Amino acid sequence: MPFHGERRRVVVTGMGAVTPLGLTKDEFWSNLLAGISGAGPITQFDASDYDTKFACEVKGFDPLAFMDRKLAQRCDRFTQFAIVAADMALKDAGLDLEKVDRHRGGVIVGSGIGGMWTYHKQQETIWETKGPHRISPFFIPMMISDIAPGRISMRHGLKGPNYATTSACATSSHAIGDAAILIQRGDADFMLTGGAEAAICPMGIGGFNAMKAMSTRNDAPGKASRPFDKDRDGFVMGEGAAILVLEELGHALKRHARIYAELGGIGFTADAHHITEPAPGGEGAVRAMRLAVADAGIPVDEVAYINTHGTSTPVGDKAETAAIKTVFGEHAKKLAVNSTKSMIGHLLGAAGAVEAVATVMSVYEDKVHPTINYETPDPECDLDYIPNKAQVREVPAAISNTFGFGGHNASILFRKFRP
């Protein structure tokens, strides 16, 4: 049920992103609008024996450009991404932590899998030495998914609510929603929230290949992620992180902060149907979007844009299209509907946060990035997917959808800030 009590308004004042399309939020957004693919051959390990030999890797990332060697060595790649994105989000927000109450600031950052590279390397240590005594004492603290928000809080002295979410692909949308709810109810004045993932490793690629979930278009990696296109054959794995600074409106206005958008509505549901497939007709997604719109207290026709989960899987894209049509009726044909994953792949637990950044930027700038590789229409996917070229169009309100294995559904509604 939507929250009907007296609650505080939540706005987005800062964003940071480390993605396959760039190491900053601005570079990421610019390349999204340009329709650039971040896919290419895997370089982090020898993938020649794998069914899928490509991914959307973060390129040119040197943790030592952002943190000292000691910290870098004691953090898994996903945590490094999270720390850097958080630093950039705070800078983007212009939030001087010396002038705020750090007990009223918290961190919720999720990861769907956590330190998979750390686990892989420590497992190799056991195999090579035939014993457990060479395992690093930092193995567990580097691997666990909650270490990312822990590290961020320690780095900035933030002593408010602090934890991780894990709900597969919906992970960081749940983190963002939770952070907003904590601000609404008065438990915090500002929150750093989002997600981080770095699972482009042997077990990550091999595991999803075993599920037959990923594209095997090895001859054309840049064309492999093709959400809603008739010839889609699975998702492309990505990696990276995004962090948003959410603030209570009065807290932001008091310091004259730039406000990108207001977080207006949240919808969380479960399919209770299957471990990987969506419920028939996207029933759980229908309820999530309806809850987000109702929570925002706006008519459905005020929503102009949906950043879809849009994974490029045959079943998922069809179910999400059906869900959008059920929720919006005739208005669905007027919606801008796109998939960020067409360019950056699927960032798993970080997908919701990175796609939230894209959604907020669309609301802020009235621009909608394209869905690239859309070439052959699918009769069961018949909405306006903004094929291959960005559009300039008014976006008073937008929804970011993320739906995870296990039937976890999250829809977050952002709208233009109006005093």
Active-site amino acid positions: 169, 309, 346
Cα–Cα distance, 312 to 406 (Å, whole number): 18
Which pair of structure tokens corresponds to residue 188? 């915090």
Give the β-pairing of 240-248 and 190-197. Answer: antiparallel
Tokens 């990505």 -> residue: 238
Angstrom CA distances, 137 to 82, 115, 126, 140, 223, stand at 22, 14, 14, 7, 42
- What are the residues whose beta carbons fall under 8 Å from the beta carbon of 206, sequence distance 6 or more? 50
* Chain position carrying tokens 């998979």: 116
Amino acid at 177: G
CA dist 346 and 183 (Å) reads 29
Cα separation, 132 vs 111, whole angstroms: 27
CB 67 within 8 A of CB 155: no
Residue 189 φ/ψ, nearest 5 degrees: -100, -25
Q: Which residues contact 154 (CB under 8 A, 6 or more apart)?
A: none
What is the strand order of the sheet 305-307 is part of?
A: 162-163, 105-110, 190-197, 240-248, 10-18, 261-270, 408-415, 397-404, 305-307, 336-338
Q: What is the DSSP letter of 259?
A: -
Q: In whole angstroms, what is the distance from residue 308 CA to residue 17 CA?
A: 19
Report the alpha-carbon distance of residue 68 to residue 175 in Å, rounded.
Answer: 28
Strand partners, 167: 169
- Cα 331 from chain centre: 26
Residue 107 vs residues 15, 53, 84, 167, 350: alpha-carbon distances, Å: 14, 35, 14, 17, 15
| Contact predicate 214/199, CB 8 Å | no
Length of the chain: 419
